[in-house]
Amino acid sequence: MTTRGNGTLTKSKVIIWGVSGGIAIYKSLDMISTLKKLGHEIHVVMTANAVKMIQPVTFEAISQNPVLTDTFEEAMTHISLADRGDIFIIAPATYNIIGKIAHGIADDLLTTVASAVTCRKLMAPAMNTHMYENSILQKNLELLKENDYEIIAPDHGMLACGYEGTGRLRRVEDILNEIVGKENGIRKGLLVGKHVLITAGGTRERIDPVRFIGNFSSGKMGVQLAKACLDQEAEVTLVYGHVQTHLPQDIRCLHAESAQELLDVLTKEISKVDILIMAAAVGDYRVDQVQSHKIKKSNTLTLNLKKNPDLLKSLNQHKKKGQVFIGFAAESENMIDHAKAKLKEKNLDMIIANDITEEGIGFHSPDNRVTVLLPGGEPIPLPRMDKYSLSVELVKLIHKSFIGD
Ligand SMILES: Cc1cc2nc3c(=O)[nH]c(=O)nc-3n(C[C@H](O)[C@H](O)[C@H](O)COP(=O)(O)O)c2cc1C
CATH (domain of 20): 3.40.50.1950
Same domain, 379 and 266: yes
Give the catalytic positions in this structure: 161
Dihedral, CA atoms, 167, 96, 26, 88, nearest 10 degrees?
Answer: 100
Helices (H), 103-149: 109-116, 129-133, 135-146
Q: Whose CA is nearest to atom 17 of ligand 1?
A: 21
Q: Which of 184, 211, 235 is the last residue of a domain?
A: 184
The pTM of the full predicted model, rounded to 2 decimals, is 0.57
Residue 107 lies in a domain: yes
Domain boundary among the residues 184, 206, 226 is at 184
Contact 32, 60 (CB under 8 A): no
Answer yes or no: is 387 within a domain. Answer: yes
- Residue 67 in any domain: the answer is yes
Host domain of residue 40? 14-184
Asked, for residue 8, whether it belongs to a domain, the answer is: no
Nearest CA to ligand 1 atom 19: 96
Which residue has the least CA distance to atom 16 on ligand 1? 21
For ligand 1, say whether the CB of 129 is within 6 Å of any of its atoms. Answer: no
140 lines ligand 1 (CB under 6 A): no
**pLDDT number for residue 365:** 77
- For a ligand 1 pocket test, name from 23, 158, 169, 170 the mutation site with the most ligand atoms within 8 angstroms of its C-beta: 23
Residue type, 133: E
Tell me if 92 sits within 8 A of 27, measured CB to CB: yes
Determine the atom of ligand 1 nearest the C-alpha atom of 53.
1
Q: Are residues 217 and 320 in the same domain?
A: yes
- As a whole number of angstroms, the distance between CA 170 and CA 147 comes to 21
Ligand 1 atom closest to residue 97's alpha carbon, by position in its atom list: 25
- How many domains is the chain built from? 2
131 CB under 6 A from ligand 1? yes
Measured in Å, residue 74 CA sits from the centre of ligand 1 at 26
Q: Is residue 3 part of a domain?
A: no
Whether 222 and 312 share a structural domain: yes
Cα within 13 Å of Cα(74), Cβ side: 9
Residue 175 C-alpha to ligand 1 middle, in angstroms? 20
Q: Which of 25, 26, 28, 49 to mutate to test the pocket of ligand 1 (most atoms within 8 A of CB)?
A: 49
* Nearest-10 Cα torsion for 173, 177, 180, 181: 130
Q: Locate the ligand 1 atom nearest the alpha carbon of residue 110 and give its number.
A: 26
> 33: CA distance to ligand 1 center in Å?
23
How many CB atoms neighbour CB 342 within 10 A? 18
Per-residue pLDDT of the chain (405 residues; tens, 9 = 90+): 333 333 334 468 999 999 999 999 999 999 999 999 989 999 999 999 999 999 999 999 999 999 999 878 776 788 989 999 999 999 999 999 999 999 999 999 999 999 999 999 999 999 999 999 899 999 999 999 999 999 998 887 778 778 777 889 988 988 998 898 766 655 567 898 899 999 999 999 999 999 999 999 999 999 999 999 998 889 999 999 999 998 987 789 999 999 999 999 999 999 999 999 999 999 999 999 999 999 999 999 999 999 999 999 999 999 999 999 999 998 888 999 999 999 999 999 999 999 888 776 666 677 889 999 999 999 999 988 888 888 989 999 999 999 986
pLDDT at 361: 67
For residue 223, which of 32, 383, 390 has the smallest C-alpha distance?
390
Distance 341 CA to ligand 1 centre (A): 60
| CATH number for 329 | 3.40.50.10300
| Residues 6+ away with beta carbon under 8 Å from 300 | none
Residue located nearest, by CA, to atom 2 of ligand 1: 23
The CB of 134 under 6 Å from ligand 1? The reply is no
pLDDT of residue 2: 33
Q: Are residues 308 and 352 in the same domain?
A: yes
Residue 4 lies in a domain: no
Mark which of 162, 184, 206 sits at the end of a domain: 184
Report if residue 296 sits inside a domain.
yes
Residue 2 within a domain: no
Say yes or no: 75 and 223 in one domain.
Answer: no
291 lines ligand 1 (CB under 6 A): no
Could you tell me if 262 and 144 lie in one domain? no
d(C-alpha 199, C-alpha 275), whole Å: 11
